[in-house]
Amino acid sequence: MDSALSSAFWLNTRDEVKQEEIDIFEICGRNDTDSTYQHTLFATSHFMIMPHDIHLSDHVAHKTDYRLADKYITVGLEWNERELVWYLDGEVIRRRKNDFWQLPETINFDSEAFPTWWGLPSDTDNGGEFIIEYFRYWTRK
């Protein structure tokens, strides 16, 4: 969306002991202090042992030559027992060994404010609009 709110697609699972999270993408359409965010797709993985005694987190900040809020993008994640592979418009943008992500996870789409990351929306943002044209997933047999 074209505002200082995030547009995000992510997976997670949580129990009393651990939390697994795979961020397929987090993007920000506009940031008044750092315009590079408008061209950056974050592909992140988190694994936490509660109450956050252990927090493993890594990401790729994939840069594009266009503002992500200016066009529709197609994103994907291939998740199997060996690795996680992130895609943007059919191209691999990240690979990671699957060390931890073995449990079923919920599918989430959301928008959030990250005041310390890319600021708060301005009065002219009106919340923005995060549009999802379609969603699909496959399960291997």
pLDDT digit string (tens) for 54-107?
Answer: 889 999 999 999 999 889 999 999 999 999 999 999 999 999 999 999 889 999
What is the CATH code of the structural domain delimited by 6-101? 2.60.120.200
What pTM was estimated for this model as a whole?
0.90
Residue 100 φ/ψ, nearest 5 degrees:
-135, -25
- Taking the domains of the chain in order of start, what are their residue ranges? 6-101
| CB distance 13 to 106 below 8 Å | yes
Q: What is the pLDDT of residues 37-48, one digit of tens each?
A: 899 999 999 999
